[in-house]
Amino acid sequence: MDRSRRSFLGQMAGVSFAAVSGGGFQSENRPNVLWLTAEDFCPDLGCYGNREVRSPNIDHLADEGIRFTNAFTTCPVCSPSRSAFMTGMYQTSIDAHNHRSHRDDSYRLPDGVRVIADWFRQAGYFTANVKSAAPGVTGTGKTDFNFSPSEPVFDGTDWNQRKAGQPFFAQINFPETHRVFKRNEKNPTDPSKLTLPPQYPDHPVTRADWAAYYDSVGFLDEKVGLVLKRLADEGLLDETIIFFFGDNGRPHFRGKQWLYDEGIHVPLIVRLPGGRQAGKVNDQLVSAIDFGATSLALAGIPIPAKMQGQAFLGPNARRRDYIVAARDRCDETVDRIRCVRTPQFKYIRNFYPERPYTQLNRYKETEYPVLRLMRRLHGEGKLTPVQMQFMAPVRPAEELYDVTRDRNELVNLAVLPEHRRTLGQLRGILDRWVVETGDRGATAEDASIPLYWEQQAKKNYDQRLRKLYEAEAMPLPEWLR
């Protein structure tokens, strides 16, 4: 037995190791833990019922693991979401809620809060942000934290750099479903055969955009398959707990950056060694801040006392009655939105209801062709009433949806007297959460920060946007003149 393993056993003496379905991992045979993270990705997979995508490898992973149907991130954009699930803390509690904040000011995490990799390292694990993921697969190495770690987060860039017999905690980041999408020229998705959500205009531009997204899902699936093959070839597949999930929801105009389910609902598949719970479908509510706590618990490592995440697998697993998510500044676009999601209802509070859904965000104006299409069709009076909702000049202060009957969250029940009780209950949950978790969203950033991001956005996108508007024969908006 190597020294690191003996040290771990000494530290962990008296600790009960996590058990799953009646069987636990022995301390002398600690499992590896691997996180496979897809960018900007909802549960758009065959195993989740979408027959318009090609995802045989991830579907097979679900057959061998547990497929969770109600997993949600705590933010609909990458950097706050990653700051949250990599610490097990709400981004709003640790001042990491504004997109790409604290990059240059040496901001440190609060006392008692650490990146998940640190807790694994302390327990004797080798930690890696994998770049050489498999032949033909290169991980991006993305972290995207809204804080400055006090020490390197990872020990290396591949689990093969660890000591003999040392277990690893590793992550691989897959960028395929992040814009800009890549079309499959050999076997493309047929745009004409797609089923579009009603809030999106049925138009060739929309169909082409969704087809490109689905093609990108196929490329993601191929790469996940190659990583799983590498694990099998190295004899590690049945020694490794695998988590597959998205960092936030899909990159369409009503998805990413918004608290509707298509902005925060992500796939979550957990494969346990030995075929434990293979093929099981679990409908409990899971927050992304629970990924770290669960990973630690399954590895037999105590969950830190200050961590807000909780284990959803293992002997001490806990179930959530609701999840909470938050959106704050994204790039130059200042906003504050909070939501509570239960198995049946979604409650959304817009803290700036006087601002439109489509307040200016140059990144989305440039990279989301359907958003520009919506603006054009709106000007021509060609949007349906459902599609018009997103183009309204103001927002309701509160939104309430029955997600079991209204999956696209299009019928706001907050104004109906028969839902007054539900509205009050969810409103109260959010009020308590804001206080109990120390939500820092009410504290405005220094005005120079949004101004800086506006200057960066102008520099990066204005010239491209002028060309796009001209190519699409659209008049330049006032802010672009």
**How many separate domains does the chain show?**
2
Asked if the model's pLDDT at residue 6 lies above 70, the reply is: no
268 and 357 share one domain? no
Look over the chain and give the mean of its residue pLDDT values, rounded to a whole number.
94
The CA-based dihedral angle spanning residues 32, 33, 38, 44, taken in that order and rounded to the nearest 10 degrees: 100
pLDDT tens, position by position, 182-214: 999 999 999 999 999 999 999 999 999 999 999
156 and 49 share one domain? yes
143 and 292 share one domain? yes
pLDDT tens, position by position, 267-324: 999 999 999 999 999 999 999 999 999 999 999 999 999 999 999 999 899 999 999 9
Q: Which residues contact 248 (CB under 8 A, 6 or more apart)?
A: 39, 40, 73, 75, 76, 77, 78, 81, 256, 263, 264, 266
Section 215-234 average pLDDT? 98
Is the dihedral angle over the CA atoms 53, 57, 63, 65 positive or is it negative? negative
Six-digit token pair at 246? 């998205």
Asked if the model's pLDDT at residue 24 lies above 80, the reply is: no
Q: Quick one: pLDDT at residue 18?
A: 39
452 falls in which pLDDT band (50, 70, 90)? very high
190 and 233 share one domain? yes
Least confident of 19-33, 89-103, 120-134, 467-481: 19-33
Asked if the model's pLDDT at residue 253 lies above 90, the reply is: yes
Q: Quick one: pLDDT at residue 11?
A: 36
290 and 342 share one domain? no
Section 68-73 average pLDDT? 98
Closest CA relative to residue 271, chosen from 85, 20, 24, 74: 20
289 and 341 share one domain? no
Q: Quick one: pLDDT at residue 104?
A: 85
Asked if the model's pLDDT at residue 19 lies above 50, the reply is: no
250 and 355 share one domain? no
Asked if the model's pLDDT at residue 27 lies above 60, the reply is: no
Q: Is residue 87 part of a domain?
A: yes
Asked if the model's pLDDT at residue 8 lies above 90, the reply is: no
Q: Which residues contact 237 (CB under 8 A, 6 or more apart)?
A: 228, 231
Q: Quick one: pLDDT at residue 87?
A: 98
Question: What's the CA gap between 34 and 328, in Å, rounded?
Answer: 30
Q: Is residue 15 part of a domain?
A: no
Query: Which of 305, 325, 345 is at the close of a domain?
Result: 325
The residue type at 207: R
Q: Which residues contact 351 (CB under 8 A, 6 or more apart)?
A: 335, 336, 337, 338, 441
Q: Is residue 2 part of a domain?
A: no
421 and 289 share one domain? no
Q: Quick one: pLDDT at residue 29?
A: 80
Q: Is residue 7 part of a domain?
A: no
pLDDT tens, position by position, 115-161: 999 999 999 999 999 999 999 999 999 999 999 998 899 999 999 99
345 and 467 share one domain? yes
Q: Quick one: pLDDT at residue 150?
A: 86
439 falls in which pLDDT band (50, 70, 90)? very high
Q: How far is CA 207 from CA 61, 260, 369, in A?
A: 29, 21, 11
372 and 314 share one domain? no
pLDDT tens, position by position, 346-404: 999 999 999 999 999 999 999 999 999 999 999 999 999 999 999 999 999 999 999 99
Q: Quick one: pLDDT at residue 330?
A: 98
Asked if the model's pLDDT at residue 229 lies above 70, the reply is: yes
Q: Which residues of 32-70 are buried (b: 16+ CB within 10 A; e: fewer)?
A: bbbbbbbbbbbbbbbbbeeeebbbebbbbbbebbbbbbb
Number of neighbours of residue 236 by Cβ within 10 angstroms? 16
Section 65-76 average pLDDT? 98
Tell me whether residue 78 is one of the annotated catalytic residues: yes
Q: What's the residue count for the chain?
A: 481
Six-digit token pair at 300? 């037999």
- Among candidate residues 42, 78, 330, 339, the one labeled active-site is 78
Q: Quick one: pLDDT at residue 22?
A: 33
The residue type at 272: L
Q: Quick one: pLDDT at residue 28?
A: 54
Whether 141 and 158 have beta carbons less than 8 Å apart is answered as: no
CATH of the domain at 269: 3.40.720.10
Whether 140 and 327 have beta carbons less than 8 Å apart is answered as: no
Note down the domain range covering 406: 337-480
Q: Is residue 315 part of a domain?
A: yes
Asked if the model's pLDDT at residue 80 lies above 80, the reply is: yes
Query: Which of 295, 325, 355 is at the close of a domain?
Result: 325
309 and 410 share one domain? no
Pairing of strands 132-134, 337-341: unpaired
In three-state form (DSSP H/G/I as H, E/B as E, the rest C), the secondary structure along the chain is CCHHHHHHHHHCCCCCCCEECCEECCHHHCCEEEEEEECCCCCCCHHHCCCCCCCHHHHHHHHHCEEEEEEECCCCCHHHHHHHHCCCCCCCCCCCCCCCCCCCCCCCCCCCCCCHHHHHHHCCCEEEECCEEECCEECCCCCCCCCCCCCCCCCECCHHHCCCCCCEEEEEEECCCCCCCCCCCCCCCCHHHCCCCCCCCCCHHHHHHHHHHHHHHHHHHHHHHHHHHHHHHCCCHHHEEEEEEECCCCCCCCCCCCCCHHHHEEEEEEECHHHCCCCEEEEEEEECCHHHHHHHHHCCCCCCCCCCCCCCCCCCCCCECCEEEEECCECCECCCEEEEECCCEEEEEECCCCCCCCCCCHHHHHHCHHHHHHHHHHHCCCCCHHHHHHHCCCCCCEEEEECCCCCCCCCCCCCCHHHHHHHHHHHHHHHHHHHHCCCCCCCCCCCHHHHHHHHHHHHHHHHHHHHHHHHCCCCCCHHHC
Q: Is residue 440 part of a domain?
A: yes
Backbone angles phi, psi at 238, to 5 degrees: -95, 15
Query: Which of 325, 345, 375 is at the close of a domain?
Result: 325
Q: Is residue 26 part of a domain?
A: no
The CA-based dihedral angle spanning residues 469, 470, 473, 478, taken in that order and rounded to the nearest 10 degrees: 50
Question: What's the CA gap between 191 and 344, in Å, rounded?
Answer: 32
Asked if the model's pLDDT at residue 218 lies above 50, the reply is: yes
202 and 299 share one domain? yes
Q: Is residue 59 part of a domain?
A: yes
